Chain A
Amino acid sequence: MFARNKVLQSAAIALALSAAFAMTPATAQESTDPIKLTLHDWTGQLITTEIMGEVLKKGGYNIEYVQADYLAQFAGLEAGDLHVAMEMWETTGRDAMDAATATGKVENIGPTGMKAKEEWWFPEYMKEKCPGLPNWEALKEASCAEAFSTAETAPKGRYLGGPVTWGGFDDERVQALDLPFEVIHAGTDAALFAELESAYQRQAPIMLWIYAPHWAPAKYKGEWVEFPAYTKECYEDPKWGSNAAAQYDCGKPFGEIWKVGWSGVKDKWPGAYAAIKAFTINNDEMGAMITKVDLDGKSVSDVVAEWMGANEARWSGWIKK
């Protein structure tokens, strides 16, 4: 009895020592205050943040997750109440991010490695009614536009765009490419997918803005419309592309997804800052993880733990730097 206790005790001491040893590089001169990472309301972001958080924990840092709104969080980041936001999408967050970085209190910590694909999207079954798809030129035919129309937009097709705040130049694109479509703006991301779900259940026509990484392209069968590929000139020079008098006669660019943080992170937790900067993950990995959570019903923590197990070499490199 005594001997067993002794063994257990020494094992515990050894464990504690090794844990302390592993922690020393970080805790030596860095703050032990918790680093606050923000959580938003979509799965991909929860996964990204939790991976980062778990990695930092392994590096001996104190971590706290805070639920925060995607845009309202900037007030917290500027004041130093919050520290790191792992996903700031080029398309939806650029303005708020620029305004925040301009104050000098928030800093862009670089790309996450994921790139947001955003484009017009239609369900597979619409190919029957509009055989030329996914080539965008098919949309110019009256019969195709009609197939996508509703009572309010007929004979024009109805295209459900993102919320006004996302930008995206869809009204301009419709003009420039002379598409017989009317752009309706959904007010929020959830409304966008509610309409898709509704149409998909009824196998009804729908054309809308879908982005990836997201669970929707995995759940619903469909394709993105193939517009002329985006180039910088297309958005800037009217002469470029099929319409010599207009910009935006092409598809949408891939948008970076940025990591942003309070500018004090660098000084308060230099090691953590380096780890956050080193963090990268790609679209395919993320897409697979989102599918596991949203469609297969696994918990975010399990999926993250699985990833951590499979990619130890990768993340341990981030905290070493």
Chain B
Amino acid sequence: MTAPANPSVEAAAGPIGLPRGLIPWIVAAGAFIVLWRFGGAYDWAFEYPGAAIIPAGRWIGDFMKWLVNEAHFGLFSFKDLTRFIAALIDLPYRCALSLLATGFLKGQGSGAVQILPPLSWVAVTATIGLIGFHAGGRKLATLVVLCFGFLAAFGQWQSAMATLASILVAVPIGVIGGLLLGIAAYRWHWFERALTPVLDLMQTIPVFAYLVPILFLFGFGPTAAVVATVIYAMPPMTRIATLALRAVPSDTLDLGRMIGCTRRQMTWRVLVPSAKDGLMVGVNQVIMLSLNMVIIASMIGAGGLGFDVLAALRRLDIGAGLEAGLAIVALAIALDRLSQAFAARAGTMTPPAVSTSLPARHPYIVAALAMIVLAGVAGLAMPALQTYPPALQLSTGSFWSNVVGWINVNYFDTLEAAKNAVLLNILVPLKRLLLGLPWAGVTALLAFAGYRLGGLRLATLTGALAFLIAATGQWEKAMITVYLCGISVVLACLIGVPIGIAAAQRDRLWNWVQVIIDTLQTLPSFVYLMPAVMLFRVGDFTAMIAVVAYAISPAIRYTVHGLRKVDPRLIEAGTAMGCTQWQLLTRIKIKLALPEIMLGLNQTIMFALSMLVITALVGTRDLGQEVYIALTKADTGRGLVAGLAVAFIAIIADRLISAGAARTKARLGLE
């Protein structure tokens, strides 16, 4: 299938027996160390001169003010445009919310009168169960009914439906928008080039940095929350869509051309269906990331479960916070498994039925409607069917607080000792080291790495971005960011990649691991952050735990994805040649899965960076804190500059890793 690894690259050695590629690296590193150790006389190389700092914060702040208050297209202002979009989004949202949570109302505010009650909990659960049965049989139906039953039984129903309403609006927008952008990027190379940095910015600038302008433009409320959610959740869909489309085998495309598909047919009948598996990973990510925004969305008027989590943890009610958090997870799992099942079904086309009666053609729709009406009418007679009876609600009460309390009382000293060992031996020295490095040297080194891995263009990019971080006066905070995220990413990979390798070959294990990483990815980190503060105090260590817990999921997911994609024929060939299991793994599977694992690393870094704002809540002093401070001072410019610095770090890391991955791929003859 693929050409064997090109041996000449690895074997090419320089005159002193080192691989030739290494020599420039050694020279560059040597120059860097000389500057760092003996360059004390050049103050400017260590601390960026204050007089030369670019006042980007002010410029951006002024620009945003202009955009919000004055920008005009002649007939209407920019704000009119965004408010119009907001109204468009608001319409389906209101419908979903009325249907699920509030009922249809006449009038506004406290003067409103309910005309029609919302769907009862029985109706919603039964409908979801039917959808599950339709898409994936009895097993899936049981799972989703259990998930929704959990929401009702733990008294989270009302909030969960408010959250579900905003998710039901945000996810389709994210998926469709992402897919369209992905197709465009697949088709036009220039578009992809232009889009990539925008996607990076969307995914990595912390939401807090642009929250205020969004609120001005889209109005305070759930719509703004939906917009912020889409901005954050769409990029992975676009990326994965492009990747998946590109992976469609050329035979399929040839076949499409041969049977005379038009361009449109080619896209929607051939390309998109063939790339379905990959696209579903994207859909999964959009759902997960949307649910991840629930907390921030609740801060700007979306209410729902996110608000419950925040309010519970402010009273230190760990159990209530966990219950609300797990409700988010239950929603995520139900939605994700449903979407996966639908995707799997879509492949098996059923011939259009010719039978005449409506129930025979659409048994499920009719059954669901009947169920809704029945439950609605029954709900009028028996309120317990309309609203889950509070008397039957379960709660873990103070159980979880007691568990944390028990650990705290009995094991605090042990934990403290372990924490201090890690902190004093690894974290603090690393932080000192990074803070002591000269910015000029680091910038030059990054530019050099860019040059070696990707040529002059990449060198210019990495060098310029690093310089801009220094030139806007963010260097020190950026270094703290690099330190915290760097160490967390290393840890996440050290834990995640082996788990991924183990899970890739065992389906049962993978099912469990999937549940765990889905939980970690959607459970609001606030839920475990506060117990972590109780056991480890505020500070970098607690922040690190939170980042690792969140960033570990892509490390696992992409490793599994990559290993499972390895061509089984190659593995058979390996087995036939008498490879041991270990050799099979290290020589064949991991090598071939390396590009995927690298993409996982890339996403791990992105995830880690996106946790920065959360870590600011436990007292770190990095760029996330800067963004947070800017929010409290209502200083949009300052927030965006810090947010951009985060994005620059992400882009530098991403480009260097991608260039490295491309070289590896070329060496392995995968492309």
Q: How far, in angstroms, from A192 to B544 measured CA to CA in the complex?
A: 18
A24 contacts chain B at the CB level, 8 A cutoff: no
- CB of A202 within 8 A of CB of B408, answer yes
What residues on B are CB-neighbors of A165 within 8 Å? 628-629, 632-633
Q: How far, in angstroms, from A185 to B533 measured CA to CA in the complex?
A: 13
What residues on B are CB-neighbors of A92 within 8 Å? 632
- CB of A71 within 8 A of CB of B307, answer no
Q: Which of A50-72 contact B (CB under 8 A)?
A: 53, 57, 62-64, 66-69, 71-72
Residue of A nearest to B616 (CB): A187
What residues on A are CB-neighbors of B617 within 8 Å? 187-188, 190-191
Residue of A nearest to B410 (CB): A202
Residue of B nearest to A74 (CB): B634
Query: Could you give, for residues 195-219 of chain B, a 1 whenever the CB lies within 8 Å of some chain A CB and a 0 otherwise?
Result: 0000000000000000110011001
Q: How far, in angstroms, from A57 to B109 measured CA to CA in the complex?
A: 11
- CB of B538 within 8 A of CB of A32, answer no
A124 contacts chain B at the CB level, 8 A cutoff: no
Interface centre among B220, B424, B628, B635 (most CB of A within 10 A): B220
On whether A71 and B303 interact (CB within 8 A), knowing A35-B109, A152-B423, A164-B625, the answer reads no
A288 contacts chain B at the CB level, 8 A cutoff: no
Contact of B618 among A75, A81, A164, A187 (CB under 8 A): A187
- CB of B533 within 8 A of CB of A195, answer yes
Among A94-102, A137-145, A304-312, the stretch in contact with B: A94-102
Contact of B212 among A66, A75, A201, A204 (CB under 8 A): A75
Residue of B nearest to A67 (CB): B303
On whether A64 and B109 interact (CB within 8 A), knowing A76-B215, A164-B625, the answer reads yes
What residues on B are CB-neighbors of A190 within 8 Å? 313-314, 316, 526, 530, 533, 617
- CB of B632 within 8 A of CB of A96, answer yes
What residues on A are CB-neighbors of B412 within 8 Å? 198, 202, 204
On whether A79 and B219 interact (CB within 8 A), knowing A187-B619, A188-B618, the answer reads yes
Among B237-245, B293-301, B503-511, the stretch in contact with A: B293-301
A186 contacts chain B at the CB level, 8 A cutoff: yes
Q: How far, in angstroms, from A75 to B211 measured CA to CA in the complex?
A: 9
Residue of A nearest to B108 (CB): A34
What residues on B are CB-neighbors of A198 within 8 Å? 408, 412, 533-535, 537
Q: How far, in angstroms, from A317 to B110 measured CA to CA in the complex?
A: 22
What residues on A are CB-neighbors of B409 within 8 Å? 201-202
Interface centre among B109, B211, B310 (most CB of A within 10 A): B109
B660 contacts chain A at the CB level, 8 A cutoff: no
CB proximity of A276 to chain B, nearest CB, Å: 16
What residues on A are CB-neighbors of B535 within 8 Å? 198
On whether A68 and B299 interact (CB within 8 A), knowing A151-B416, A202-B408, A202-B412, the answer reads yes
CB proximity of A111 to chain B, nearest CB, Å: 21
- CB of A34 within 8 A of CB of B298, answer no
Residue of A nearest to B416 (CB): A151
What residues on B are CB-neighbors of A284 within 8 Å? none
Q: How far, in angstroms, from A99 to B307 measured CA to CA in the complex?
A: 26
On whether A71 and B631 interact (CB within 8 A), knowing A79-B216, A201-B405, the answer reads yes
B315 contacts chain A at the CB level, 8 A cutoff: yes
B396 contacts chain A at the CB level, 8 A cutoff: no
A73 contacts chain B at the CB level, 8 A cutoff: yes
- CB of A151 within 8 A of CB of B420, answer yes
- CB of B108 within 8 A of CB of A64, answer yes
B620 contacts chain A at the CB level, 8 A cutoff: yes
What residues on B are CB-neighbors of A228 within 8 Å? none
B4 contacts chain A at the CB level, 8 A cutoff: no
What residues on B are CB-neighbors of A215 within 8 Å? 315
CB proximity of B65 to chain A, nearest CB, Å: 10
Q: How many of chain A's residues have a CB under 8 angstroms from any CB in B? A: 57
Q: How far, in angstroms, from A36 to B221 measured CA to CA in the complex?
A: 11
CB proximity of A304 to chain B, nearest CB, Å: 14
On whether A72 and B619 interact (CB within 8 A), knowing A35-B109, A43-B315, A202-B408, the answer reads no
- CB of B538 within 8 A of CB of A186, answer yes
Range class of the B interface residue count: 35 or more
Query: Could you give, for residues 202-236 of chain A, a 1 whenever the CB lies within 8 Å of some chain B CB and a 0 otherwise?
Result: 10100000000001000000000000000000000
What residues on A are CB-neighbors of B633 within 8 Å? 95-96, 99, 165
B311 contacts chain A at the CB level, 8 A cutoff: yes
What residues on B are CB-neighbors of A36 within 8 Å? 109
- CB of A66 within 8 A of CB of B533, answer no
What residues on B are CB-neighbors of A151 within 8 Å? 416, 420, 424
Contact of B420 among A34, A53, A152, A164 (CB under 8 A): A152
- CB of A41 within 8 A of CB of B110, answer no
Q: Which of B599-639 contact A (CB under 8 A)?
A: 615-620, 625, 628-629, 631-635
- CB of B634 within 8 A of CB of A79, answer no
B111 contacts chain A at the CB level, 8 A cutoff: yes
Q: Which of B280-321 contact A (CB under 8 A)?
A: 298-303, 307, 310-311, 313-316
Query: Could you give, for residues 132-157 of chain A, a 1 whenever the CB lies within 8 Å of some chain B CB and a 0 otherwise?
Result: 00000000000000000011100000
A119 contacts chain B at the CB level, 8 A cutoff: no
- CB of B533 within 8 A of CB of A76, answer no
Q: How far, in angstroms, from A164 to B111 measured CA to CA in the complex?
A: 42
CB proximity of B640 to chain A, nearest CB, Å: 14
Residue of A nearest to B632 (CB): A165
- CB of A72 within 8 A of CB of B631, answer yes
B539 contacts chain A at the CB level, 8 A cutoff: yes
Q: Which of B104-132 contact A (CB under 8 A)?
A: 107-111
CB proximity of B110 to chain A, nearest CB, Å: 4
Q: How far, in angstroms, from A278 to B108 measured CA to CA in the complex?
A: 26
- CB of B620 within 8 A of CB of A187, answer yes
Residue of A nearest to B215 (CB): A75
Query: Could you give, for residues 524-535 of chain B, a 1 whenever the CB lies within 8 Å of some chain A CB and a 0 otherwise?
Result: 001001110111
Q: How far, in angstroms, from A95 to B633 measured CA to CA in the complex?
A: 5
**Closest A-B pairs by Cβ, 9 of them:** A34-B109, A76-B220, A75-B215, A69-B299, A64-B109, A81-B220, A198-B534, A187-B619, A99-B634
Known: A72-B631, A194-B316; 11 extra A-B contacts, CB below 8 A, are A33-B108, A34-B109, A62-B107, A67-B301, A73-B220, A75-B215, A78-B216, A190-B313, A190-B617, A191-B618, A198-B534
**Can you list 19 A-B pairs with a CB-CB distance of less than 8 A?**
A42-B311, A62-B108, A62-B111, A67-B302, A68-B301, A71-B631, A79-B215, A92-B632, A165-B629, A165-B632, A188-B617, A191-B533, A193-B314, A194-B316, A194-B531, A194-B533, A198-B408, A201-B405, A202-B412
